[in-house]
Structure 1
């Protein structure tokens, strides 16, 4: 099923994603929604999506795609914020859940109905070219932003 989070200020619900999406990092089973919820609990994060990508050391690495409540950082500011968010997740869940990569975008790739297109995020996380159908993607330009690794 899908998990949701209610915004304490507006009362609106946000669909976070599948609660049955599980990553296997160094033999530890981690729910993507748990990591996403930890990221969204940070005061600067508006929205987050987490996917896995193959990793030689851990089997699977956590990759986070993050939308901030302010403008998207670049350069040293982005690297500093990525470290802060990694540490935040480590404190909230544990060091094993720290994202290996964090990518910042103005939005997440969503369909016109608002569903996050996780298959595209998985391809981006693996460094693959996007070959899937993107005809339902609301904002194709967002894919270029999300290729930057932090």
Structure 2
């Protein structure tokens, strides 16, 4: 029986060990969706998004995160930095600056879109909590161990 066909258990009623085991049994896609849903619900709660605006917020947040991911995927740092020539390293450095500018420009575009749903204070809080949420999820992922079939994450 797939997880979608099963009744979703209440994580609040589970012990940490039960949650960990339940999540380990999920497919990578299901885990990713669970984390995205949790992040969205955390943002709604932290920002106190009114019930009548939550669906619009969820949709826009998903769109924003996907657009940021698309930009980030243009630049992959999976190369050996030590083996780059000076010219190659300089080119990569400039590409990283371009990427940062694209991310900033995208953030500005979406700030305007979020302002149609949220107050300026809520938008500021959303962008400020973006990095903290990522850190929190990475921390939890390290505690849970690597997903089935994957190596442990390297320590930064």
Per the shorter chain, which TM-score range? Answer: 0.3 to 0.5
Pick the structure with more strand per residue. Answer: 1
Pick the structure with more helix per residue. Answer: 2
The one of the two structures with greater contact order (alpha-carbon pairs below 8 A, sep at least 6) is 2
Question: Which entry has the higher C-alpha Rg, 1 or 2?
Answer: 2
